[in-house]
Amino acid sequence: MIQKTDVLFFGAHPDDVELGCGGTVHKLSSSGLKVGIVDLTRGELGTRGTPAIRKAEAEEAARILGLTVRDNCDISDGHIDISRENKARVIQKIRQYQPDLVILPYFSDRHPDHVNASKLVKECIYYAGTEKWPVGIPVADLPAWRPKFYLYYMLAEPFEPNVIVDITGHEEARLQAFRAYKSQFFVPGHDSNEKETWISRPEFSEQLQARLRFYGYQIGTAFAEPFFSDQPIPLADLMALTRR
């Protein structure tokens, strides 16, 4: 069933989008746009938590962010291959939710799943608009749909952004959505007896906040999130650059 959205974010795991650009998600949904997140996997290979716990955490984050849609492709964690089956799953989501804008993970990262997710979604943005694909693979008889534009968001590996979004006023919602993932990240007042990981350290959350402030500094605001476009950015109104 088609459920039209304006913007659709993709992440390899539940929490990736919140970590990379949760402030932008909240800003878009708060403006009245229909915003969705599609996670490719359940994150079942993660050191901490379980798929059931992470599902509940993702639902709570979706509530905080004001999402219209939260969905999952049920691809096996650690196996985000560019296969016919995985392409069909992602294409089905793009055709089902008909986004005008797709925001996906940057194509270079320390985590192989993030890199593969970027490649897979990028291919599917194109093929979702191809009338005769996929031959022999059902996609619920959904009509072809190609998003008008796409952007990459930052995870672990920094890049030189050519789009920076002011999220001032939305940083608290971003933080609360991030902290919904108590199994994954450090949350003040929540004790966990699970093994500490790179992202569960208290310093990790502080470093993310510092990154938001750094990119805010870049554009003269308090908090901002970085994005990258590998295609020309069209402007109908040049003076839009002067309005914030």
233 domain residue, yes or no: no
Please indicate, yes or no, if residue 103 is contained in any of the structural domains: yes
Say if residues 37 and 103 touch (Cβ distance below 8 Å): no
| Total domains in the fold of the chain | 1
Mean pLDDT of the chain: 93
Range of the domain at 160: 7-227
> Radius of gyration over alpha carbons of the chain, in Å?
17
Domain assignment present for 105: yes
Q: Judge if pTM exceeds 0.85.
A: yes
User: Which one-letter amino acid corresponds to residue 101?
Assistant: L
In a domain, 47, yes or no: yes
Max Cα-Cα span within the chain: 54
Query: CA-to-CA distance for 94 and 22, rounded, in angstroms?
Result: 20
pLDDT tens track of the chain, all 244 residues? 899 999 999 999 999 999 999 999 999 999 999 999 999 999 888 877 788 989 999 999 999 999 999 999 999 999 999 999 999 999 999 999 999 999 999 999 999 999 999 999 999 999 999 988 766 666 667 899 999 999 999 999 999 999 999 999 999 999 999 899 888 776 776 767 777 776 778 888 899 999 999 999 999 999 999 999 999 999 999 998 888 7
Residue 175 has a CB neighbour count (10 Å cut-off) of: 18
Question: Could you read off the pLDDT of 178-228 as tens digits, one per residue?
Answer: 899 888 776 776 767 777 776 778 888 899 999 999 999 999 999 999 999
C-alpha pair distances (Å), 195 with each of 48, 123, 133, 187, 219: 7, 36, 44, 15, 38
Whether 242 is covered by a domain: the verdict is no
Residue 69 lies in a domain: yes
Q: Is residue 238 part of a domain?
A: no
* Domain CATH code at residue 134: 3.40.50.10320
Establish if 234 belongs to a structural domain. no
Residues with Cβ within 8 Å of 56's Cβ and at least 6 positions away in sequence, in order, are: none
